[in-house]
Amino acid sequence: MDQFGTAHLLMLALFVVGLPLAYLVGHQERLRGDRRLSKGLAIAVPVVHVPTQVYDAATGFELGVTLPFHLSDLAWIATAVALWTHHRAAVALTYFWGLVLTTQAVVTPSLGEDFPDLRFFAYWFIHLLVVWAAVFLVWGHRLAPGWREYRFTLGVTLAWAVLAYAFNEVADTNYGYLQRKPSGGSVLDLLGPWPVYVLAEIAIVATIWALMTWPWKRKPAGAPRGTSGAS
């Protein structure tokens, strides 16, 4: 698929239109006090995504692509759990991974297939849904993260990075682009050579996630002394 070609631009338009709709739908569900839509979406995630993963493995297995070692493979699981349970740890993973990391895959997709290939639909289904779910849960349902969830997300992400790097070294793969940058170009090109870009990416992501947490937990103006919004 060509970056910023017709198919990509249509998906970007769909992505933008879906953001306010995700908030409105989540807000309405919160006001109604039920979780039927949340649980329906939670079921839809594996029901749609798992068969496409199986199909992908059966028809075109590639060691460096097909195995579920991408962070997006964890993101869709976290999203399904967050939608079903509304647990703040799972919601936080969806929020931080979705709005910072998954959006990169939306803006600069690493996708060889174009419309109407099944992999095209599978890619966009899971990436758009993760971001929309973050808006649906955090703004719509007001399940905002705190500093505890921030630390939890950092820990899980670093654990994934260590495991993915070790597997890459053994299998000569490049999951997470931890060994080398994408050949098609990405924002990582601005961060210098390996391993500088990996360390820079960690620092930048941790800072951005902290900034994404702070507005939810800062002490409101005029709050009494001793009142803290931190968790």
Residue 71, pLDDT score: 86
- Give the range among 42-51, 115-124, 155-164, 174-183 with minimum mean pLDDT: 115-124
Min mean pLDDT across 10-14, 112-116, 119-123, 153-157 is at 112-116
Question: For 99-119, what is the mean pLDDT?
Answer: 81
* Percentage of the chain modeled with pLDDT above 70: 94
pLDDT of residue 227: 37
Express each pLDDT in 159-196 by its tens digit.
Answer: 999 999 999 999 999 998 899 987 766 778 888 899 99
- Give me the torsion for CA of 211, 217, 220, 223, rounded to 10°: -140
How much is the pLDDT for 37? Answer: 94
Residue 144 has pLDDT above 80, yes or no: yes
Higher-pLDDT residue of 65, 200: 200
Q: What is the overall mean pLDDT for the chain? A: 88
pLDDT at 225: 46
pLDDT at 220: 56
Q: What is the Cα 40 distance to its own chain's centre? A: 20
| Structural contact between residues 114 and 123, judged by C-beta atoms closer than 8 angstroms | no
Band (79; pLDDT cuts 50, 70, 90): very high
Give 167-176's long-range contacts (Cβ < 8 A, gap of 24+): 167/69, 171/63, 171/64, 172/64, 173/63, 173/64, 173/67, 173/69, 174/64, 175/64, 175/67, 175/69, 175/70, 176/69, 176/70, 176/71
